[in-house]
Amino acid sequence: MSTSVELIKEAEFSHNLNREEIVTILKDDSCNEELFQAADRVRKKYVGDEVHLRGLIEFSNICKRNCLYCGLRASNKNLDRYRLEPDEIIELAKKAVEYGYKTIVMQSGEDEFYTLDKMKYIISNIKKLDVAITLSIGEKSFEEYKAYKEAGADRYLIRIETTDKKLYEDLDPGMSHNERKRCLEDLKELGYEVGSGSLIGLPNQTLESLADDILFFKEIGADMIGLGPFIPNEDTPLKNEKGGEFTMSLKVMAITRLLMPDTNIPATTAMETISRNGRIVALQSGANVVMPNVTEGEYRKMYALYPGKACAGDTPAHCVGCITGKITSIGRSVSSTKGFRVRKKITT
């Protein structure tokens, strides 16, 4: 068996690792810097130095699901709930465009107030602003996904959260792992750019399971992969769990970059929440996307997936200025494009 450093060197050029090899690297903290630097070189070679900013609108914190790890879970009675009207969402998108965003990400809990007609109205009006549109609104039928696409949606984010079927169904009561996979397959078939991702540090999650997650993203050819630490929320059944670690989250992200050189990988807000300047560290370890929040006022704090969310008290204008400054401080630049995945010939 090769050493971790040898595996990293090989993966930088072959973009392949098997399950056992991924676990070897995840276990070995003596090679972390070599891993992060290799991921950064692959990022630079395949997706360049530009960072894509996506303006995130969190338009409803109402959710019919009861996932054990999420602060928006239906059973959480300690959360003040809100939902934005369609025209309010469109207005926030217009402001985001004024700040310079080329992609709007619309995210919410699974809130059935937003009927198909309402969503088509929102999507088609935002599309008139000449932006790419990403949706992150959960499990829907093939017909609904098709209608969103026809209205102008370009991308869809739906995290697998974990590829461990039993762990998924334990943590997501009433949900089916196969149904989650069905959604990803439908979205791919409909021609969306498909985003997935996982939570790192879930109770009873193993390194083997994390390796399976990475290999799953490669298998489905995910166009965007969001990875972040599990952060326990005091208003959920997992409030007393340990939570995920920054370094392990970074390692999973870096290995994902080695194996998927031209995919889009965000430096997530959760990374920043548990580690100061976490997003910048992530950008230097394989990431190439940041999703600043463009939701306004109290709503920013009320979208409480987990406690202590970074930048929850900032204004959208402050956020874009702050992150742009940080990006330029590390010798990178903000992209002026819509940031679609550009598939590159993978050289070995």
CA–CA separation, 22 vs 40, rounded Å?
18
Residue range 307-334, pLDDT digits in tens: 999 898 899 999 999 999 999 999 999 9
Cβ pair 341, 155 in contact under 8 A? no
Mean of the pLDDT values across residues 82-101? Answer: 98
pLDDT at 302: 94
Cβ pair 255, 22 in contact under 8 A? yes
CA–CA separation, 197 vs 189, rounded Å?
19
Question: Considering the domain 4-334, what is its CATH architecture?
Answer: Alpha-Beta Barrel (3.20)
Please, what's the largest Cα pairwise distance for the chain? 58
Mean of the pLDDT values across residues 233-242? Answer: 97
DSSP conformation class of 83: B
CA–CA separation, 134 vs 155, rounded Å?
4
Mean of the pLDDT values across residues 131-152? Answer: 98
CA–CA separation, 259 vs 182, rounded Å?
24
Q: What is the mean pLDDT of the chain?
A: 97
At residue 55, the 3 state secondary structure works out as strand
> Domain extents for the chain?
4-334
Q: What is the CA radius of gyration of the chain?
A: 19
CA-CA-CA-CA dihedral for 330, 334, 335, 341, to nearest 10: 60
CA–CA separation, 263 vs 311, rounded Å?
26
Residues 6+ apart with CB under 8 A from 230: 69, 199, 200, 201, 202, 238, 241, 243, 244
Mean of the pLDDT values across residues 119-137? Answer: 98
Mean of the pLDDT values across residues 118-143? Answer: 98
pLDDT at 348: 67
Residues 6+ apart with CB under 8 A from 317: 99
Tokens of 259: 């194996």
pTM value is 0.98
At residue 2, the 3 state secondary structure works out as coil
Bridge-based pairing state of the strands 193-200 and 333-334: unpaired
In the predicted structure, residue 347 carries a pLDDT above the cut 80: no
The Cα-based distances of 170 to 226, 264, 322 in angstroms read: 22, 30, 39
344 half-sphere exposure, CB direction, 13 A CA radius: 16
CA–CA separation, 214 vs 318, rounded Å?
34
CA–CA separation, 114 vs 86, rounded Å?
9
Residues 6+ apart with CB under 8 A from 338: 102, 103, 131, 132
For a pLDDT cut of 90, what percent of the chain falls above it? 97
CA–CA separation, 158 vs 141, rounded Å?
13
In the predicted structure, residue 135 carries a pLDDT above the cut 80: yes
CA–CA separation, 19 vs 17, rounded Å?
7
Angle at 8 between CA 6 and CA 271, to 5 degrees: 150
Q: Where are the beta strands (DSSP E) in the chain?
A: 50-53, 55-60, 103-108, 132-136, 155-157, 193-200, 224-229, 289-290, 333-334
Q: Which amino acid, residue 274? A: I
Bridge-based pairing state of the strands 224-229 and 289-290: unpaired
Tokens of 292: 């600043």
In the predicted structure, residue 168 carries a pLDDT above the cut 70: yes
For residues 44-57, one letter each, b for 16 or more C-beta atoms within 10 angstroms of the residue's C-beta and e for the rest, the string is eebbeeebbbbbbb
